Structure 1
């Protein structure tokens, strides 16, 4: 039986009933840093390729391995937090993420960098699901809505700030370290968050320890690797036969995974992703919205960076600064998220889709009219509108979906959401990125390709409006 957003029972008799402002900010830091680390690398890739003599396929993997490792393990991380303590797993994940950030910055070659990026993604998968799970376990009412909205904001703001910060750091070339600073910058932030988490975040866990579904975890991880690896590497390698073989294997793997999860749940054991949870109407609609949003948003962030620093001739700093209006509007929405949800209810998500559709079309018009003479100022208004609409989709989405999950499975619910987020960020960079590069190789050029991508995302946004209105019906 599901429970609503404001009337959950505690998972243990000693569970705290409130989080301090510092505790909430600390938890959100655990969501913000991994997203920032996913996107900050984009503008540093050319520098990494030159310094480490990496191929295009290797550079794609620098991005892809992080997302694949994170998406593969995040549901397991949520389950482990439910079983062994969410604060404990948060601290382990943050400490490990800090260490692997240092190792990435010190990597002597691309193979070592790839190995350390896997470690970064895996440790982020232990940390991030504990954020939503702790919020769901402790907070109620408006406090929970605000905190979940901040979690949603961490995705959009982290993506935008990652691109901005990457541009600043690469351009500054601090102490001659070049691209390595995009990893080193994580360390002081992570240390501060770790110390604060140790002091202010309460320990919570599920009232009954459920064993991790090892077979389900293996099947889910294998399925995601089979999907994301060929999509990440296929274009750079010319789509060799093994990429198609892996993609074809995804379908039977999904069938086997679904059968295993149904059998596990019917036998009374703890399924990794219980089909009963996925059958919840709000969860189904929420995941459809999540797939559409995170795939298109992740793809746009990737191709916009390529185009602006490609034919548009922007520096890394200029390219990064084009995302500043988007970050500002996302943060503005996060401040007023609770009031907006109170006024508009679930329909706020449909409104967000409509607003961002206008933003993408406006950006496409600017690109079509002025390319390649575009810059941070010429794209500022469209990017602000895109961020406004994106914020109105992201921030309520997590709360609405989490409300469908029983509190004792809070880690599971957060794991499903973050798996969707991370998988689709990677999927968007691969699929939308591939479409962009194919079109850019024709007479359309990068300007025409970027215009086409933005129009396509606007169409998806409009199509998502009636789907999102389904959340307003009981």
Structure 2
């Protein structure tokens, strides 16, 4: 899934009146943001329907999401710079048109390969479209309005994260006009057309006075470096983290170092770099990149594991799992509103948000600990609402503080770099917390089966199953439940489960036992599954709170305010 933020900058004292259509333009930019956020997550829900229709193996499902994430991450830095060169409005229009065409290609795909290729098209044009909004908002809004403008991105991100899975599940189930999963891409056509026409009407036509040249060697270096780091992060768990994934990540560090050296050399020579080195001499920007990497890792990782827990561990439907997160999104809106009233406190608002969010995550832990595997949506509501409020408080001042010091000629470079950082953070969080979750899950469920084994043995004894056979069935169930929980292909039956079925048939000695033994095994597996997921989720929540504590500490790298007086300047 990808995310972006917005920048603000102090308008010159002799600047003209603010751009007349700035609020309408903001909603055009937000519409593009929504398209990206929705398309980043919809294939997670609709993937099984796509696979059933088009064919393909388990890896097909992974590549439907990975193709989009990888292509966008590779193109973001270059996409931001293209706005400086050819004009941000023009590049936004190109990106919106290409993204819409890519959506149409997805909708008419006749094979898995065509669909994956169309997802790459979506990602590349999304990388051109998304960074342009940052520079335009920077130009359109005066300092006193900037925080309100970019603060809207937080609630939009939250609502899109919730609505994406809900919308995808609804559209696939509704099967409008017999389109099935294709409607999740067809819905982008009116959205994309509206964004394109709105951009034509409302986006400013401004262009940088100095039109830099595109840094082709820098573009190739940063694209290679992004691919080398994002690919293993996105796909590493699916391949069980072989040595080459770590080799790729190590190589990415070397390529990023070569890219930094080349950009500094190019800048000293008086030529236009792809990423302006002076950006990283600004305290707000360099500190914000570090903090943002940790925070977006935390946010995306938490969303992943919580959705896995509700859908797999608690057995919620995609629609119900999405609705459970509504308080979280509502809390973001509340937090954004509170942040507007206390904006003068600058960095302290961000730090308060990190603390409130950490308390909310601890509230989720406490709820799971007190209620257990029977937890319901209403019981999770207070803690998720508090988590959302904290996130709204955190995000409202974040981009203003980080990007307010960015000068006009640095905007495209800063926009692409910041957006790429968010993509990298999201991929890192999904990789780290997803790997931790599944790494703990097998053992957690096996332990839960052990805790339930006494009751299972009692029911098997009542069904006249011999003790030796009971031992075999308990061991089989332990392995099967663990293997099924961590299986990469949910549609495949693990070999251990086949062995359990075979041993179950051998244990049946009467018609009465034929009914009681499978029922006892199924009931035990279900209880162990839920309690095992719950115990692992609680462990991961401690990791999330640790990452939020680190976010709080890293905030000290930022200046106290976006501007020295809290209202203007930097």
Q: TM-score, normalised by structure 1?
A: 0.92
Q: Which piece of structure 1 moves more, 184-193 or 242-251? A: 242-251
**1:456 aligns to 2:457 (yes or no):** no
| Structure 2: distance between partners of 1:201 and 1:331 | 26
Shift of 1:202: 1.4
Q: Any conservation in 2 of the 1:309–1:316 contact (CA below 8 Å)?
A: yes
Question: Deviation string for 1:35-88 (max 9, x for gaps)?
Answer: 222123322233333333343333222112211211211121111111111111
CA spacing shift, 1:17–1:89, aligned 2, 3 Å: same
Shift of 1:447: 2.2
- Summarize the alignment of residues 53-68 of structure 1 with structure 2, pairs less than 5 Å apart: 53-68=55-70
CA spacing shift, 1:340–1:181, aligned 2, 3 Å: farther
Partner of 1:189: 191
Q: Any conservation in 1 of the 2:279–2:410 contact (CA below 8 Å)?
A: no
Q: Any conservation in 2 of the 1:164–1:324 contact (CA below 8 Å)?
A: no
Q: Any conservation in 1 of the 2:284–2:403 contact (CA below 8 Å)?
A: no
Partner of 1:312: 314
| Structure 2: distance between partners of 1:423 and 1:442 | 29
Partner of 2:488: none
Question: Deviation string for 1:381-410 (max 9, x for gaps)?
Answer: 222122111122223211222212102222
- Summarize the alignment of residues 156-305 of structure 1 with structure 2, pairs less than 5 Å apart: 156-305=158-307
CA spacing shift, 1:26–1:298, aligned 2, 3 Å: same
| Structure 2: distance between partners of 1:385 and 1:124 | 32
Partner of 1:95: 97
- Summarize the alignment of residues 358-373 of structure 1 with structure 2, pairs less than 5 Å apart: 358-373=359-374
| Structure 2: distance between partners of 1:336 and 1:106 | 45
CA spacing shift, 1:174–1:437, aligned 2, 3 Å: farther
Shift of 1:16: 6.5
Q: Any conservation in 2 of the 1:366–1:378 contact (CA below 8 Å)?
A: yes
- Summarize the alignment of residues 317-466 of structure 1 with structure 2, pairs less than 5 Å apart: 317-335=319-337, 337-342=339-344, 344-444=345-445, 445-466=532-553
| Structure 1: distance between partners of 2:62 and 2:54 | 14
Tell which has more relative contact order, 1 or 2 (C-alpha 8 A, sep 6+). Answer: 1
Shift of 1:180: 2.4
Moved over 4 A (4+): 13-16
Aligned residue pairs total: 469
Question: Deviation string for 1:252-307 (max 9, x for gaps)?
Answer: 21221121122112212222222221121111211111101111111121222222
1:309 match: secondary structure: helix
1:27 match: secondary structure: helix
Shift of 1:176: 4.0
CA spacing shift, 1:385–1:141, aligned 2, 3 Å: same
Shift of 1:337: 4.4
1:41 match: secondary structure: helix
2:373 match: secondary structure: coil
| Structure 2: distance between partners of 1:324 and 1:266 | 50
CA spacing shift, 1:277–1:465, aligned 2, 3 Å: same
- RMSD of aligned Cα (Å): 2.4
Q: Any conservation in 2 of the 1:165–1:320 contact (CA below 8 Å)?
A: no
| Structure 1: distance between partners of 2:555 and 2:49 | 41
| Structure 2: distance between partners of 1:15 and 1:209 | 25
Shift of 1:164: 3.0
| Structure 2: distance between partners of 1:56 and 1:378 | 35
1:372 match: secondary structure: helix
Q: Any conservation in 1 of the 2:11–2:143 contact (CA below 8 Å)?
A: no
Q: Any conservation in 2 of the 1:57–1:237 contact (CA below 8 Å)?
A: no
CA spacing shift, 1:462–1:203, aligned 2, 3 Å: same
Q: Any conservation in 1 of the 2:349–2:394 contact (CA below 8 Å)?
A: yes
1:424 match: secondary structure: helix
Q: Any conservation in 1 of the 2:70–2:230 contact (CA below 8 Å)?
A: yes
Structure 1 residue runs of 5 or longer lacking an equivalent are none
CA spacing shift, 1:171–1:306, aligned 2, 3 Å: farther
Partner of 2:555: 468
| Structure 1: distance between partners of 2:189 and 2:396 | 27
Shift of 1:348: 0.9
| Structure 2: distance between partners of 1:379 and 1:174 | 33
CA spacing shift, 1:160–1:262, aligned 2, 3 Å: same
